[in-house]
Amino acid sequence: MAFSVFLLLLSAVAVLGQIPRLAAQCPGYRATNIVQGDSSLVADLILIGNCSLHSKDVEKLRLLVEYQTDTRLHVLIADAGNDVYQVQEHVLPRPKSQNIDAKGAALKFSFTENPFTFNVTRASTGEVLFDTSDSPLNFETQYIRLRTSLPQNPNLYGLGEHSDSFRLPTDDYTRTLWNAESPFIPNRANLYGSHPVYFEHRGDSGTHGVFLLNSDGMDILIDKTESGQQYLEYNAVGGVFDFYFLAGPEPASVSKQYAEVVGLPAMMPYWTFGFHQCKYGWQTIDHVAQVIANYSAADIPLETVWGDIDYMNSKRIFTTDPSRYPLDKVRALVDSLHKNNQHYVQILDPGVNRINNYGTYTRGAEKGAFLRAADGSYYRGLQWPGEVVWPDWFAPNTQDWWNNEIHTFYDPSTGIDVDGLWVDMDEASNMCPDTTCLTSASSITPLGWTPRRPPPRPRGRQALAPRQSSPPPTDSKLGLPNRDLFNPTYRIASHRGALSSYTLYTNITNADGTHQYDTHNLYGNMMATATRRALLARHPAKRPFVLTRSTFAGGGRAAAHWFGDNASTWDHYRTAIRQMLAFAAVHATPMVGSDVCGFNGNAEEHMCARWTMLGAFQPFFRNHADVSAPDQELYRWPVVADVARRAMDVRYRLLDYLYTAVWRASVEGAAAVSPLWFWYPGDAATWGVETQWVLGDGLLVSPVVDDDSQTVSYYLPKDVWYDFWTGERVVSKGEIKTVEGVGWGDIPVHIKGGSILPMRVKSANTTAELRTQNFVITVAPGTDGIAKGELYLDDGESLDVGDEKSEISFTWDGQGFQAKGAFGYDTDVVVERVVVLGDGASRTKEGPWGLREGFDFHL
């Protein structure tokens, strides 16, 4: 409490002390030495007059404009000296420019010289997509600002991670990007991840994307000026303006173009699409065994069991509690899971307990793997085990140390043979809220948390590696010197308070010479990436599975993501849908989902039933709850158990359809889950829909969303649809349909006319067993009578399947069905039948047809 009052006072002083100058009065920069090439433009930008809104103006900037591809325009405004921090290439590798001729590009860059402002227009229509002419930019040592005008009430999506509406508010709205542990995922707040990309949708005239590659803390303001002009304004505490403009114009193309910039999402192992159960608070391994047995007894398929921090000895990573989770028992449990084709995943946190005789700490300390305080000692803070140090993912030996810890602890012959890893608290979350608990780590009770036992005290002298030799000097984009990295004058609106509160001090220098101030938002991605690499080192040929709480742009390359510590409320049940839409369609992270039934608080039976069915149609499907929440395994209520059996049945039958959609995302960035407006861009009624989603290319899911309700009103765009459950054909003129009496296990799902859906004939208890089931293929002809779809098959677990994969495309032309493509995956599984839906009775053609070659027939 006292601490927050102190903060409030501090910010009041900061506001009073501020020079009351307006950005609009700043003179900005003028462009000189302009060199225009066929596919690029460079210029110097020289400060016209000082403005110093929050820090010192940078005198000389450099503009680089590149026509990188037909649809991608790169605009970089950096300091001429190249000192200002830019995200390291190895953290986010930049796409190569194809240097296309500006004349043929879909986007056009134009600018004024004095003051320098620019706009980006769509070449085909002349429409202005981005326009800074109303306000010259600011580029200071600790504050950069750039504003674009926008059309009134634009349709903007993205700028995650947040829990606000999927289509962003356009009045008095601030999106703060600063990764933070965010219990209860509050609205209008920065959450666990930062994705400075938005898509703007303008109906029939197209959709485009704007990505600002900047990892510094920032506020993005979306509002109207006094005269009513709509704008979006970036206010960051550092970094450069590194923009990628993506032309679309189809919404789905923007997803792909964005993935080309930040990287294609990782393909996931087949088993990860099965159902996962987790719980913080499973006190003993025997309890876990009971959960597994009870799932089996309830006849609810359980694919993967998770271990939250309960398994650890005093919450130390890479340890097991000798009495509650003795290693031999954990090994036996994992063995028996594997024998049943089930899987096991464990959690890891970044904080390493700083005590002697703890190998993970001493080995890391010897290798110089941890972040350092000003005096060169390892920087300390507070996390689950008590006093901790944190890995410095930029230090040269950290990956080795991490590989070795993972290799040893998860050694199949002596340790725990996990199938995947879960990284949590990687914002990084520090339970020490301020500067005071460093010296008294054992005596403080961090706000909002109650450690389960007093944190152990460090004993004796600590192993300390010599400080790394100083990082390479100058011109390496490490960050300007002489900044106040602890208390910048411009304060972003983080809901956790100052930049450093509840996380690592932002004035910490990373091993490569950069600072947490600039790299904070990358911590989670780097931990997830390091963990993925460690899993690859452990099993080079196997597709790794990592789940991470904290993300940054491009995070899908390394990991799956869940939406953090939500609550067991109807509100968060609804929130889960829009978060899934944002991550899968806008943030290039397809393997996502909420904690089914909610993380915190008491899951109510009917809500849990609905959420389970919803979860069956989200890519990542895990039930998880907090230690303080009552048990919420799906077998615990009769209603939920019934619904769960039904949910698993449909989920597993559709599993290959989902697998194919996520594979598509991994090879070309297509959205595995998308909003309705991706499919009906011209239909304004779809633009704000955030309680329905399209799974893959052809399934529209429209769950009941009101509290305790059995009624749902959903929108069916103008098209032909088929009820997924009955096959009934529904022609919509673009109507809101209201359905009453929707049972707790019912969920309206429609097949979009024009799609072909491959499904397994039968569900199974495990995904391994599922893979032996045959297929049934459902054809849903569109208004034009034709349809198409696809099926991807591989072994489900190899990192590189080479040619041993099948990419089968299905087409229906009104009379003939055809399956063709590549058939490299060897399988005995067959297509048992093909069902063509229609008006009235559907038509069925009985197979079987093998899946080692194409086939066709007429009906």
Ligand X SMILES: *[C@@H]1O[C@H](CO)[C@@H](O)[C@H](O)[C@H]1NC(C)=O
Residue in 219, 424, 434, 690 annotated catalytic: 424
Under the binding rule (CB under 6 A), the answer on residue 518 touching ligand X is: no
For 74, residues 6+ apart whose C-beta sits below 8 A from its C-beta are 64, 65, 66, 68, 97, 242, 243, 244, 245
Contact between 742 and ligand X (CB under 6 A)?
no
Site mask for ligand X (CB under 6 A), range 763-802, x = bound: xxx-------------------------------------
Rounded to whole angstroms, the Cα distance separating 360 from 537 reads 18
Q: How far is CA 586 from CA 210, 244, 252, 559, in A?
A: 11, 14, 9, 16
Residue 734 Cβ vs ligand X, minimum distance, rounded to whole Å: 32
**Given 308, 427, 656, 719, the catalytic residue:** 427
* CA–CA separation, 619 and 336 (whole Å): 26
- Which region among 248-256, 473-481, 762-770, 828-836 touches ligand X (by CB under 6 A)? 762-770
Q: What is the DSSP letter of 438?
A: G
Contact, 827 vs 810, CB < 8 A?
Answer: no
Tokens of 226: 């006094």
* Closer residue to ligand X in complex, CB, 658/716: 658
In contact, 631 and 741? CB cutoff 8 Å: no
Quick one: 764 or 834, whose CB is closer to ligand X? 764
Query: What order of strands is seen across the sheet that includes strand 207-212?
Result: 29-36, 40-47, 60-69, 72-79, 241-246, 207-212, 197-201, 155-158
**Which residues contact residue 638 at a Cβ distance below 8 angstroms, ignoring those fewer than 6 apart?**
none
| Token pair belonging to 817 | 């069905």
CB of 308 to ligand X, least distance (A): 11
- Which of 591, 445, 477, 608 minimizes the C-alpha distance to 528? 591
Q: Which residue is nearest to ligand X (CB)?
A: 600
Closest CB to ligand X among 93 and 186? 186
Q: Which is nearer to ligand X, 762 or 820 (CB)?
A: 762
| CA atoms of 400 and 108, how far apart (whole Å) | 46
Site for ligand X in 289-318 (CB under 6 A): 290-291, 294, 299, 301
Q: Which of 10, 64, 128, 739 forms a contact with ligand X (CB under 6 A)?
A: 128
> Whole-number minimum distance, CB 55 to ligand X, in Å?
11
User: Among 500-508, 588-596, 665-673, 688-696, which window interacts with ligand X (CB under 6 A)?
Assistant: 500-508
Measured distance CA(616)–CA(100) in Å, rounded: 44
Determine the size of the site formed for ligand X (CB under 6 A).
35
Tally of CB atoms within 10 A around 718 = 14
Can you tell me which of 40, 313, 408, 507 binds ligand X, judged by CB under 6 A? 507
Helix/strand/coil (H, E, C) string of 563-623? Answer: CCCCECCHHHHHHHHHHHHHHHHHCCCCCEECEECCCECCCCHHHHHHHHHHHHCCCCCEE
Give the residue, chosen from 26, 43, 45, 47, that forms a contact with ligand X under the rule CB under 6 A: 47
Cα separations in angstroms, 100 against 73, 646, 758: 10, 52, 40
Footprint on residues 474-493 left by ligand X (CB under 6 A): 486
DSSP string over 667-731: HH---SEE-HHHH-TT-GGGTT--S-EEETTTEEE----STT-S-EEEEE-SEEEEETTT--EEE
Which CB atom, from 487 or from 811, has the smaller least distance to ligand X?
A: 487
| Residue 692 interacting with ligand X (CB under 6 A) | no
Closest to ligand X by CB, 119 vs 313, is 119
- The SS3 call for residue 129 is strand
How far is the C-alpha of 619 from the C-alpha of 543, rounded, in Å? 17
Report in angstroms how near the CB of residue 539 gets to ligand X at its nearest: 29
Cα–Cα dist 838/730, whole Å = 10
192 vs 583 by CB, closer to ligand X:
192
Cβ at position 92, least distance to ligand X in Å: 25
Rounded to the nearest whole angstrom, what is the least distance from the CB of residue 52 to ligand X in the complex? Answer: 8
Query: 78 with 240: CB under 8 angstroms?
Result: yes
Least spacing, CB of residue 181 vs ligand X, in Å: 7
Question: Using the rule CB under 6 A, is 121 a contact of ligand X?
Answer: yes
* Site track for ligand X across 542-571, x = CB under 6 A: -----------------------x-x----
CA 637 to each of CA 529, 613, 633, 643: distance values in angstroms, whole numbers, following the listed order:
39, 15, 9, 10
Per the CB < 8 A criterion, the answer to whether 217 and 491 are in contact is no
Q: Tell me which residue of 789, 728, 796, 749 sits closest to 768, measured CA to CA.
A: 796
CB of 294 to ligand X, least distance (A): 4
Residue 859 CB, shortest distance to ligand X, in Å, is: 31
Closer by beta carbon to ligand X, 392 or else 790:
392
CB atoms within 10 A of CB 613: 25
- Active-site residue, selected from the candidate residues 83, 219, 565, 697: 565
Contact 100, 67 (CB under 8 A): yes
Least spacing, CB of residue 795 vs ligand X, in Å: 22
By CB under 6 A, which span of 107-115, 225-233, 241-249, 797-805 interacts with ligand X? 107-115
Q: State the DSSP H helix or E strand holding residue 288, giving kind and residue range, or none if neither.
A: helix 285-297
Between 572 and 752, name the residue whose CB sits nearer to ligand X. 572
The Cα 853–Cα 850 span in angstroms is 7
Task: Pick between residue 47 and residue 585 the one whose CB is nearest to ligand X.
Answer: 47
**Contact assessment for residue 379 and residue 389, using Cβ atoms and an 8 Å cutoff:** yes
Q: What is the 3-state secondary structure (H, E, C) of 627-665?
A: CCCCCCCHHHCHHHHHHHHHHHHHHHHCHHHHHHHHHHH
Q: Which is nearer to ligand X, 373 or 742 (CB)?
A: 373
Give the interface segment with ligand X, choosing from 121-129, 141-149, 302-310, 555-563 (CB under 6 A).
Answer: 121-129
Could you count the other beta carbons within 10 Å of the beta carbon of residue 334?
24
Residue 850: what residue type? Answer: G
Site residues for ligand X, 629-658, by CB under 6 A, read 633
Closest CA to 514 of 572, 559, 566, 470: 470
Residue 599 Cβ vs ligand X, minimum distance, rounded to whole Å:
5
Per-residue interface string for the shown chain with ligand X, residues 593-622, x marking contact by CB under 6 A: ------xxx---------------------
Q: DSSP character for 472? A: P
Q: Which of 62, 94, 287, 718 binds ligand X (CB under 6 A)?
A: 287
Asked if 119 touches ligand X (CB under 6 A), the answer is yes
Catalytic status, residue 565 = yes
Nearer to ligand X, 132 or 525 (CB): 132
Write out the binding residues for ligand X, residues 364-423 only, by CB under 6 A. 373-374
Active site residue 424: yes
Q: Cβ contacts of residue 545 below 8 Å, gap of 6+?
A: 268, 269, 272, 345, 419, 420, 421, 535, 560
Residue choice 146, 508, 616, 647 for contact with ligand X (CB under 6 A): 508
Contact mark string toward ligand X, 178..217, x via CB under 6 A: -----xx---------------------------------
**Considering beta carbons, is residue 111 or 361 the nearer one to ligand X?**
111
Q: Which of 40, 82, 99, 112 binds ligand X (CB under 6 A)?
A: 112
Supply the minimum distance, in Å, between the C-beta of residue 26 and ligand X.
11
Binding mask 314-353 for ligand X (x = CB under 6 A): ----------------------------------------
Residues engaged in binding ligand X (CB under 6 A)? 47, 49-50, 110-112, 119, 121, 126, 128, 183-184, 287, 290-291, 294, 299, 301, 373-374, 435, 486, 505, 507-508, 565, 567, 599-601, 626, 633, 763-765
Catalytic sites, residue numbers = 424, 427, 565
